[in-house]
Amino acid sequence: MKISFEKALLKENILDYQEKINAVHESLVNRTCKGNDYLGWYEWPYNYDKEEFARIREVGKEIRENADVLLVCGIGGSYLGARSAIEMMKGLYPGDKPEIIYTGNGLSSTYLCQVLEHIKGKSVYLNVISKSGTTTETAVAFRVFQKYIVDTFGEEEAARRIIATTDKARGALKHLADVKGYREFVVPDDIGGRYSVFSAVGLIPIAAAGLDIDEIMRGCQKAYEDLKSPDLNTNIAYQYAVARRILENQGKCIEVLATYEPSMTMIAEWWKQLFGESEGKEGKGIYPASVTFSTDLHSMGQFIQEGSKYLYETVLTVEKPMLDMTFPADEENLDNMNYLAGKNVDWINKMACEGTVAAHVETGNVPNILVSLEDNTPFSYGYMIYFFFRACAATVLLLDVNPFNQPGVEVYKKNMFKLLGKPQ
């Protein structure tokens, strides 16, 4: 993984923040920072529960062997990690089994009804994921699909097909899983939803998708090693953390994560949750937005190029695409496209990226931070996610904000519960 600030138009020197970064780093290592109850993710690359990991591998294999469809039922931190990982590493049309369908991440009745119809006659497994065990969106979908599975396969078989990932001791889902005898996996106490993808929360669906979870852990271990020292000459996560604060000082209050692969769109959604929920508190923070290029160059490109100058971009590219093809020649050339014949389509994509960065930076005066991943393998995925964890925690601590809570999320819930007439 590489990061470049050459086109970031920074008006301060990143290295001038070394003392501040040292303090942030120490507070993470010594567990004295704000929100220090939720630092389980920090040492997780090595400290993860090996026994549970082996169970995850097993259950993933079982789902893969037996399911046509895996329903993954969860929202926010209990949803975005798995989906973004699977899409990034497998693409949008992998064409294998099980088909993975995400539910419980909204309250659309149309969506629920269509999924119910779609899974009829298929071998269905269900992984319900909720740390609190009480989230309304997840609970509504879970009851519907649990009933379907029990009605279709019977109580005993349902207990094999339904897998619960939840708190080890508390919550309605934990109680229900105990009573029904569902297999249970744990959301660690000291890891919040948006930092949980390397636990059972993300790894069960990822393993069921046939991806190598050992390689993912190897990737995050490598990132852990590479990011051990707080030295801003070498620590790319801290460089990114500081660059964000410098750009904020320059009046930038929106960060747009730009990707060039449709299979990375959900990575951007995951990233938005990570940075949005971690940083957006106490009237502070940079608003995280995203675009998928080149698609969005034909919609949001205009604004980025010439609109108000509050934003900067972080361009996340993948050097080696999962698949590539040579653009064909055509004897008639009626579409005048023969000038590209013989070129790889990924090369065309890369040229679009190069041209766009130049347009946005040089003509539009929009700072661009350039992040590039070697490929979309499980190793690179694990590396990138741990990089973002560390960068996010550090950049938020530089603001003197707790990166690990989300008090604002509760406000809508209270209003909704009142309107729904939920018993106290």
Which residues are tagged catalytic? 277, 298, 413
Shortest CB 177 distance to ligand PA5, Å: 14
Shortest CB 129 distance to ligand PA5, Å: 6
* Cα dihedral 409, 217, 206, 166 sign: negative
Shortest CB 115 distance to ligand PA5, Å: 19
Question: Does residue 403 belong to the site contacting ligand PA5 (CB under 6 A)?
Answer: no
Task: Specify burial of residue 205 (Cβ count, 10 A radius: 0-12, 13-18, 19+).
Answer: buried
Tokens of 207: 């393993």
Q: Which of 81, 192, 205, 288 binds ligand PA5 (CB under 6 A)?
A: 192
Are 402 and 38 in contact, with CB atoms under 8 Å apart?
no
Q: Which of 3, 24, 42, 78 binds ligand PA5 (CB under 6 A)?
A: 78
Cα–Cα distances (Å) from 156 to 153, 159, 164, 195, 242, in that order, read 8, 5, 16, 34, 54
Strand locations in 21-73, DSSP E? 69-73
Shortest CB 222 distance to ligand PA5, Å: 26
Question: Does residue 131 belong to the site contacting ligand PA5 (CB under 6 A)?
Answer: yes
Cβ neighbors of 225 (< 8 A, separation 6 or more) are none
Separation CA 302–CA 407 (nearest Å)? 35
Shortest CB 143 distance to ligand PA5, Å: 14
Shortest CB 35 distance to ligand PA5, Å: 12
Contact window for ligand PA5 (CB under 6 A) among 156-164, 192-200, 328-336, 351-359:
192-200
Contact window for ligand PA5 (CB under 6 A) among 50-58, 186-194, 260-268, 351-359:
186-194
Q: Which residue has the tokens 């960065």?
A: 357
Q: Toward ligand PA5, which CB reaches closer, 7 or 131?
A: 131
Q: Toward ligand PA5, which CB reaches closer, 64 or 281?
A: 281
Task: Specify burial of residue 162 (Cβ count, 10 A radius: 0-12, 13-18, 19+).
Answer: buried
Peptide bond into 321 cis (omega under 30): no
Concatenating the DSSP letter of every residue in 206-254 gives HHHTT--HHHHHHHHHHHHHHT-S--TTT-HHHHHHHHHHHHHHTT--E
Work out the number of other CB atoms within 10 angstroms of the CB of residue 116: 15
Shortest CB 153 distance to ligand PA5, Å: 25
Q: Toward ligand PA5, which CB reaches closer, 115 or 191?
A: 191
Question: Does residue 103 belong to the site contacting ligand PA5 (CB under 6 A)?
Answer: no
Could you report how far apart the first and last alpha carbons of the chain are, in Å? 49
Question: Does residue 194 belong to the site contacting ligand PA5 (CB under 6 A)?
Answer: yes
Tokens of 254: 């929106």
Question: Does residue 152 belong to the site contacting ligand PA5 (CB under 6 A)?
Answer: no
Minimal CB distance residue for ligand PA5: 76
Q: Which of 84, 105, 130, 290 binds ligand PA5 (CB under 6 A)?
A: 130
Question: Does residue 135 belong to the site contacting ligand PA5 (CB under 6 A)?
Answer: yes
How many residues of this chain bind ligand PA5 (CB under 6 A)?
14
Tokens of 108: 């659309």
Q: Which of 45, 60, 76, 202 binds ligand PA5 (CB under 6 A)?
A: 76
Q: Which of 87, 248, 277, 346 binds ligand PA5 (CB under 6 A)?
A: 277
Question: Does residue 406 belong to the site contacting ligand PA5 (CB under 6 A)?
Answer: yes
Cβ neighbors of 412 (< 8 A, separation 6 or more) are none
Partners of residue 185 on adjacent β-strands: 165
Contact window for ligand PA5 (CB under 6 A) among 13-21, 188-196, 288-296, 349-357:
188-196
Question: Does residue 193 belong to the site contacting ligand PA5 (CB under 6 A)?
Answer: yes
Touching ligand PA5, residues 36-75 (CB under 6 A): 75
Separation CA 37–CA 34 (nearest Å)? 8
Are 258 and 19 in contact, with CB atoms under 8 Å apart?
no
Question: Does residue 364 belong to the site contacting ligand PA5 (CB under 6 A)?
Answer: no
Shortest CB 118 distance to ligand PA5, Å: 24
Residues in contact with ligand PA5 by the rule CB under 6 A: 75-78, 130-132, 135, 138, 192-194, 277, 406
